[in-house]
Chains A and B, each alone.
Chain A
Amino acid sequence: DQQVKQNSPSLSVQEGRISILNCDYTNSMFDYFLWYKKYPAEGPTFLISISSIKDKNEDGRFTVFLNKSAKHLSLHIVPSQPGDSAVYFCAAGGSQGNLIFGKGTKLSVKP
């Protein structure tokens, strides 16, 4: 059973508009969440994280929102740029060392 779910396999957005990527989780023991970005033939690159005690974390064009009661988080990218086109993975971590990843959402930002 998937503990971290990204239900949209793909998303297409116009350059300059907002991209919203969603992620749901089932395990209430997770205490931090991350977003990774992956280009083809490269490993995932860390983008932004949020602790379970917060509901928002912002870094430049990237903002992650966490709704603990709904077990839902989202990544907002504003404004979206063509270079943002990649696969975005949501991941969750707890007391264990490893991360639990979702299946990813492929974002395409069109000029």
Chain B
Amino acid sequence: GAGVSQTPSNKVTEKGKYVELRCDPISGHTALYWYRQSLGQGPEFLIYFQGTGAADDSGLPNDRFFAVRPEGSVSTLKIQRTERGDSAVYLCASSLLGLAGRRITDTQYFGPGTRLTVL
């Protein structure tokens, strides 16, 4: 398929451990977004990449969270010293143009998410 893919689909870890969540955006999409969805909530913005650079990381909750996109395609969200409150579905989305395009027509396409459970 040509959609956004995320791995793993489920991740169970213990409090204090380090986790990495991977996102493969749609080929050719320059913009990539990470959101987090807690139970009963809508997706909440974490970070946005335009190409390889983080254009906006204002949504990252603290310095335990970090994300990279070294080649402007695949992105990895990294969480250090996980806490139970980090348990959520982590969603990745990509769009064709990002800041280079007209926002309303630059649809964000979401992946299925990674469900992270911190015990």
Interface, chain A (partner B; CB < 8 A)? 4, 6, 31-32, 36, 41-46, 49, 51, 89, 91, 93-104
Instruction: Establish whether residues B42 and A97, one from each chain, have CB atoms under 8 Å apart when the complex forms.
Output: no
Is B110's CB under 8 angstroms from A97's CB?
no
Q: What are the residues of chain A within 8 A of B66 when measuring CB–CB?
A: none
Which one, A42, A49, A94, A101, contacts B42 given CB within 8 A? A101
Complex A-B: 29 CB contacts under 8 Å: A4-B42, A6-B42, A31-B103, A32-B104, A42-B112, A43-B4, A43-B91, A43-B111, A44-B110, A45-B110, A46-B107, A46-B109, A51-B104, A89-B43, A91-B42, A94-B103, A95-B103, A96-B48, A97-B56, A97-B98, A97-B103, A98-B35, A98-B45, A98-B59, A99-B43, A99-B45, A99-B108, A100-B45, A101-B43
Binding site for A on B (CB under 8 A): 4, 31, 33, 35, 40-45, 48, 50, 55-56, 59, 91, 93, 98-99, 103-104, 107-113
